[in-house]
C-alpha cells in the first residue's frame, strides 16, 4: 500500500517499484481448508526463469523436493531436475509425505499467495501469471479493507513496458498513458 497526500493537487504523484521475488513455502497445516491459517515453516528462493534448475536454501531454481525426514518436513535439492516445458515452479512431493499433513506452494516477497495440499509422490507445477491493479481509497494501512470509500480497481498493463504511467483524475478514474 502506498499513500499519496491527503490534499492532492494536480501535480502530486507517487511512484511504485517492485520485483517479482518468488519463493517456495510449506507448512504443516493438517487438512487444508478455508479455516486454516497458513504460516510458512520454511522458505526457499524460486525463479521461473531458472529452467531445469533445483532450488537450494541460497540459490533460486524452478523446482524443489518436499520430503518428510523423521517427524519433520523439509525442502531438499532435486537431484535430477525435470524439464517443466513452461516457466513454471514445481514442488515435487516425495513418497514420505503423509496425506493431509502438510501444504506447499509459493510466496512473493515472503508472503504466501498460493498453496495446495501436498500428497505423497505428487508433483505440483505453478505457473505464475501476475496481474497488477491499482485502487484509490480513504483507508489507512492496517485498516480492514472494505468496498466503501474506494474507487473502482484499475488493471495496470505492463505488456509493452516495465515503466508505465497511470493517471488518477478528479472524477475518481484511472487511465494509463
Q: What is the pTM of this model?
A: 0.75
Residue carrying C-alpha cell 525463479: 47
Tell me which of 154 and 18 has the higher pLDDT: 154
d(Cα 128, Cα 4) in Å, to the nearest integer?
Answer: 29
C-alpha gyration radius of the chain: 20
Please tell me which of 38-42, 117-121, 143-147 the model is most confident about, judged by mean pLDDT.
117-121
CA distance 80 to 33: 33
Res. 17: pLDDT tops 80: no
pLDDT at 48 over 90: yes
Q: Cα dihedral angle (135, 140, 143, 146), rounded to 10 degrees?
A: -30
Average pLDDT score over residue span 81-108: 93
Mean pLDDT of the chain: 85
- What does DSSP say about strands 63-69 and 89-93: parallel, antiparallel, or unpaired? parallel
Q: How confident is the model at residue 146 (pLDDT cuts 50, 70, 90)?
A: very low
Q: Is 78 helix (H, G, I), strand (E, B) or coil?
A: coil
Amino acid at each position: 500500500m502506498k499513500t499519496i497526500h491527503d490534499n492532492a493537487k494536480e501535480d502530486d504523484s507517487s511512484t511504485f517499484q517492485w520485483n517479482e521475488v518468488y519463493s517456495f513455502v510449506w507448512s504443516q497445516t493438517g487438512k487444508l481448508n478455508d479455516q486454516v491459517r497458513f504460516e510458512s515453516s520454511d522458505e526457499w528462493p524460486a525463479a521461473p526463469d531458472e529452467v531445469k534448475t533445483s532450488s537450494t536454501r541460497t540459490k533460486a531454481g524452478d523446482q524443489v523436493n518436499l520430503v518428510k525426514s523423521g517427524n519433520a518436513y523439509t525442502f531438499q535439492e532435486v537431484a535430477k531436475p525435470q524439464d517443466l516445458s513452461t516457466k513454471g515452479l514445481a514442488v515435487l512431493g516425495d513418497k514420505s509425505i503423509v496425506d493431509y499433513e502438510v501444504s506447499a506452494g509459493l510466496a512473493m516477497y515472503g508472503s504466501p499467495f498460493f498453496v495446495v495440499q501436498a500428497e505423497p509422490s505428487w508433483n505440483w507445477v505453478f505457473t505464475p501469471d501476475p496481474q497488477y491493479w491499482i485502487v484509490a481509497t480513504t483507508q489507512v494501512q492496517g485498516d480492514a479493507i472494505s468496498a466503501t470509500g474506494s474507487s473502482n480497481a484499475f488493471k495496470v498493463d505492463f505488456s509493452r513496458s516495465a515503466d508505465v504511467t497511470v493517471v488518477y483524475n478528479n472524477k475518481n478514474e484511472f487511465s494509463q498513458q
